[in-house]
Amino acid sequence: MNTTPSNIEPANGPDALDRDHKILLAIIKRYQLSIANNTTHSFAAQLFEDLREYASQHFARVEKVLTQTDYPDIAQHIDAHHLFSSELNRFQQLYTDLPGLFPHKAMLAFLNKWLTSRTSIANQSYRQHLEEHRDQVDALLGTSSTPSEESSGVQPPTPSNCAPKLRVLDDEHSIGQLICNVANTLGLDTKTYQSAKDFYSGYEDDISAIILDLHMPDIDGVEVIRDLAQRQCQAQIILISGFDGTVLHSAEELAVSQGLNLAGSLTKPFRIIELHELLVSLAGKRALEETIATPAQKKPEFTREDIEKALLEGQFKAYYQPQLALRDQALVGVEVLCRWQHPELGIIPPSEFIHIAERYDLIDTLTWGILTQAVTQAREWQNLGLDIQLSINISASMFNHLDLPEKILQLTQQHQLQPQKLVIEVTESVVMDQQVKALDSLTRLRLKGFQVSIDDFGTGYSSMLQLHRIPFSEIKVDQSFVLKMQTDPEAQAIAETVIMLGHKLGLTVVAEGIEDAATLAQLKLLNCQVGQGFLFAKPMSPSDFISWVQQDSKDNLPDFHLLSA
């Protein structure tokens, strides 16, 4: 498998070296997406290899050009190249030794920082030097329009002429022009339209991305969304709007619910950097899709037989994500999250199999297996002096068995785990599906001393009603609000309101999806009691969790300590 992109336009002169940067950037973006999409380890490993290989080819080209054209600051360039190569080697070694603990975020931060500084290599003196020596550069790189027989021996991959197509639909000419300028620097094939009619008259089926202004005089953006959905448009859609955030949110919902691929949105006036980031991720995404799977070859869903076999072979494993008291960063518990350890495909996240297990009535067996692993694990941790609570996710069908509370009690008694150490998490839809039975079981679970939590609060249909009916002891602010707290004032207002509501009802409030220090600080100010998120740790296997508890992964967390048993 070669992950090196081939859809970046050929170039000559100084642009040939900038083109190298674009290719490096595209490889890095694929790496970023491969992490986001939990792509297999072998793909990430291949990306490392490509990155190293392509970077060393590029360095050889740059060094050759700069040496032979007597560039004054060459030493600085060579130092930067060495730094990159040695850091990449270090990361690759780490990856080989500890694939499960690999610090992807640190690696990405390094790559992005390095690349930003290198692409700003389009800095005046460097660029000017190359321009002044254009003929020599062409000859050295073998890129002149009348190719000479000379070659450096180190060539970039052969480009093809299929640059991704970006179409921009905005009645403001200046906005279209701005987007066009930024997109051109990324090698996108861009066209702008000021009216939907013109856009439709030149409509092509193979558009990669569409930037769509919601407010246009003739046919507005919402009508275009409807129309694109009817045409079963596969392009990535970016919405832009100058209206308040609620209009944009509703249009986003509309686009997603009609099956369009929403890639992001921008509020006017937007910053060029925001636009650039979105377009870069689009270019990377498209390249990734080409490498991994075309839409026609979409990954098939797992079958009932796959899940049954995995259940029989014990491939579903409990992973643990820490929950910390925000006041003092003490570890108070873990959320138990299921992972499928597939013998060929590696670790598979729940989004790919829980709904299938539910469809074929296999979810009870699966969840029961996870609960048993977790309760057994909690006993072992208690023996080590780690006395924390477990939060477990329960699906609707489990409430069909009215003896669920008795069975859970029996399990915890077997492992000498106090009921108050177990939190049963249910979502609003679970409660809606099984109104009477869920109320019966959850009330009796509370009577037996277990805690009951309402998960993903605010995303269902009747949150308030459920809060009033069911004896919850905890409320979890949904991560979709927490993740956007820094950028979206409405998400922030909702998160604040849920926290206040939780306080008024005397519930423990847990925020999930804390990814940055600013959000953590804000949640602390709001007196949210407990938090969970990638800022602290991702869900981990039992051994990784113990290492996390014992050593340095939490050194970055201010004041981290274990709650004394």
Q: Which residues bind ligand C2E (CB under 6 A)?
A: 321, 337-338, 349-351, 354, 363, 367, 370, 393, 395, 425, 455-456, 479, 512-515, 532-534, 539
For 128-133, the CB contacts below 8 A with 24+ separation are 129/69, 129/71, 130/13, 130/14, 130/17, 130/65, 130/69, 131/13, 131/14, 133/65, 133/69
Q: Does 393 bind Mg ion (CB under 5 A)?
A: yes
Instruction: Assess contact for 456 and 478: CB atoms under 8 A.
Output: yes
Nearer to Mg ion, 260 or 499 (CB): 499
Q: Which does 26 bind (CB under 5 to 8 A by kind): Mg ion, ligand C2E, none?
A: none
CB of 269 vs ligand C2E, minimal distance in Å: 28
Report in angstroms how near the CB of residue 341 gets to ligand C2E at its nearest: 14
Shortest reach from residue 455's CB to Mg ion, in Å: 4
Of Mg ion, ligand C2E, none, which one sits near residue 16, judging by CB under 5 to 8 A according to partner kind? Answer: none
| Partner from Mg ion, ligand C2E, none binding residue 514, C-beta < 5-8 Å depending on class | ligand C2E
Q: Pick the closer one to Mg ion by CB: 237 or 445.
A: 445
Strand order in the sheet with 209-213: 189-193, 165-169, 209-213, 236-241, 261-267
Q: Which is nearer to ligand C2E, 136 or 473 (CB)?
A: 473
Q: Which two tokens stand for residue 198?
A: 């013109």
Nearest residue (CB) to Mg ion, 154 versus 467: 467
Residue 172 binds which of Mg ion, ligand C2E, none (CB < 5-8 A, kind-dependent): none
CA–CA distance, 127 with 142 (Å, rounded to integer) = 19
Nearer to ligand C2E, 228 or 366 (CB): 366
Q: How distant, in Å, are the alpha carbons of 188, 189, 209 from that of 163?
A: 6, 6, 12
Q: Which does 119 bind (CB under 5 to 8 A by kind): Mg ion, ligand C2E, none?
A: none
Q: Which does 532 bind (CB under 5 to 8 A by kind): Mg ion, ligand C2E, none?
A: ligand C2E
Smallest gap from residue 369 Cβ to ligand C2E (A): 8
- Determine the size of the site formed for Mg ion (CB under 5 A): 4
Residue 145: exposure state from Cβ atoms within 10 A (0-12, 13-18, ≥19): exposed
Answer with the entry of Mg ion, ligand C2E, none that 354 interacts with (C-beta below 5 to 8 A by kind). ligand C2E
User: CB–CB of 279/186 below 8 Å?
Assistant: yes
20 binds Mg ion (CB under 5 A): no
Nearer to ligand C2E among residue 292 and residue 363 (C-beta): 363
Q: Nearest approach, Cβ of 329 to ligand C2E (angstroms)?
A: 16
> For residue 544, how many other CB atoms are within 10 A of its CB?
18
Q: Could you say whether residue 456 binds Mg ion (CB under 5 A)?
A: yes
Output the furthest CA–CA distance in the chain (Å, rounded). 85
Q: Name which of 156 and 350 has its Cβ closer to ligand C2E.
A: 350
- 8 A C-beta contact, residue 225 and residue 258: yes
Q: Which residue has the tokens 């003929």?
A: 135
Residue whose C-alpha is closest to residue 319's, from 257, 390, 411: 390
539 binds, among Mg ion, ligand C2E, none (CB under 5 to 8 A by kind): ligand C2E
Helix (H/G/I), strand (E/B), else coil: 14: helix
Site string for Mg ion, 407-446 (x = CB under 5 A): ------------------x---------------------
The answer to whether the peptide bond before residue 300 is cis (omega within 30 degrees of 0) is no
DSSP 563: P
Least distance between ligand C2E and beta carbon 111 (Å)? 20
- Report in angstroms how near the CB of residue 334 gets to ligand C2E at its nearest: 11
Residue number, nearest CB to ligand C2E: 533
Residue 528 CA to its chain's centroid (Å): 24
477 binds, among Mg ion, ligand C2E, none (CB under 5 to 8 A by kind): none
Residue reference for tokens 């996870």: 370
* d(C-alpha 111, C-alpha 255), whole Å: 33
Q: How far apart are CA 251 and CA 265, in angstroms?
A: 10
Least distance to Mg ion from the beta carbon of 338, Å? 11
Nearer to Mg ion, 264 or 539 (CB): 539
Q: How far is the CB of 539 from ligand C2E (least distance, A)?
A: 5
Q: Which of 428, 455, 496, 544 binds Mg ion (CB under 5 A)?
A: 455
Residue 534 contact among ligand C2E, Mg ion, none, beta carbon within 5 to 8 Å by kind: ligand C2E
Which neighbouring-strand residues pair with 554? none
Q: Return the beta strands (E) in 183-272 as ranges.
A: 189-193, 209-213, 236-241, 261-267
For the chain, what percentages of helix, strand and coil (3-state, to nearest 5) are there?
55, 15, 30
Question: Smallest distance from the beta carbon of 507 to Mg ion, in angstroms?
Answer: 15
Residue with Cβ nearer Mg ion (7 or 393): 393
Task: Name the site residues for Mg ion (rule: CB under 5 A).
Answer: 393, 425, 455-456
